[in-house]
Amino acid sequence: MIQFENVSKYYPTKQGRRYVLKEVNITLPTDVSIAILGPNGVGKSTLVRMLGGADYPNKGDIVSDKKISWPLGLQGGLQGSMSGRENCRFVARIHGYKDTKEIEQKVYEFAEIGAYFDEPVKSYSSGMRSRVAFGLTMAFDFDFDVLLIDELGAVGDANFRKKSQTLLESKFETTKLIMVSHSMGELRKYCQAGIVIKNQNLEFFPNLEDAIQEYEDTYVTAK
């Protein structure tokens, strides 16, 4: 369970505070995978970042006793000046692993980017980045209860998609997803429930189809 206690998040703009979330009180289950729905700029990524501890609410608290991953996305997590391998080492170390060799090897094998693994991440294409980023969470075998995914699949090639899908499915029993994607097909494949961000609030739907319906009714105006 992830509990939102009176959570407010705003960004200061020239026109004053622009609220993304305002006094949100909600409890999200962690026994189902959840899709986050909303148009661009409504705060999906911010929500995921706050869940992952990369960003903080301006007011209130997000409390959970589950192990939640960091936000897996295009920019998230990888430091450009370090190589893929160094990034792996770093993440292993902050998670308390003393011996990082095994993890490096796992990510290396998963990412399939060959010698690039020892080049700085800033020289990677976005597809290569997401391979390493994804391999990192997977290879670690942290046994995360919840994996946060922010548009990660969007840049992968067919092979990578296939591979990550198999991996995700093999972990479904223990690891649930909280996922942002603009591809409904992808969301339907992985998620059972949904959240729609609406009026600076979160609306939870235990059934994904209801959430998609609500999202389309609220936001999709172009027919």
Partner 1 sequence: MAQQKRSSLQITKDTVHALLMRELKTRFGSSKLGYFWAIAEPVAQASILAIIMTIIGKSSLAGVPVALFLISGVMPFKAFNKTVTQLSVGISSNTALFAYRQVSPIDPILTRLVIELATFFIVYMIILGVMAWLGLDVWPQDLLALISASLLLLLLGFGIALCMSSALLYWQDANKLLGMVMTPMFFISGIFFCATMVPAKYWYLFAWNPIFHAIELSRDAFFASYTTPVGSWGYLALTSLSFVTVGLMLYRVNRIRFATL
Q: Of residues 17, 95, 101, 162, which one binds partner 1 by CB under 8 A?
A: 95
Q: Are the C-beta atoms of residues 139 and 72 closer than 8 Å to each other?
A: no
Asked if 204 is part of the footprint of partner 1 (rule: CB under 8 A), the reply reads no
Asked if 206 is part of the footprint of partner 1 (rule: CB under 8 A), the reply reads no
Specify the stretch interacting with partner 1 by CB under 8 A; choose among 90-98, 105-113, 174-182, 195-203: 90-98
Tokens of 108: 């290396």
The whole-angstrom separation of Cα 122 and Cα 104 is 19
Specify the stretch interacting with partner 1 by CB under 8 A; choose among 82-90, 104-112, 153-161, 182-190: 82-90
User: How many residues sit close enough to partner 1 to count as binding (CB under 8 A)?
Assistant: 29
CB of 96 vs partner 1, minimal distance in Å: 5
CB of 57 vs partner 1, minimal distance in Å: 9
Specify the stretch interacting with partner 1 by CB under 8 A; choose among 14-22, 27-35, 46-54, 182-190: 46-54
Tokens of 139: 């290879």
Q: Phi, psi at residue 85, to the nearest 5°?
A: -65, -45
Asked if 178 is part of the footprint of partner 1 (rule: CB under 8 A), the reply reads no
Asked if 219 is part of the footprint of partner 1 (rule: CB under 8 A), the reply reads no
Nearer to partner 1, 56 or 172 (CB): 56
Q: Which residues contact 52 (CB under 8 A, 6 or more apart)?
A: 68, 69, 70, 71, 76, 148
The whole-angstrom separation of Cα 52 and Cα 59 is 16
Length of the chain: 223
Q: Phi, psi at residue 156, to the nearest 5°?
A: -75, 150
Q: Are the C-beta atoms of residues 101 and 45 closer than 8 Å to each other?
A: no
Asked if 29 is part of the footprint of partner 1 (rule: CB under 8 A), the reply reads no
Q: Which residues bind partner 1 (CB under 8 A)?
A: 49, 52-56, 58, 70-71, 75-82, 86, 89-91, 93-97, 141-143
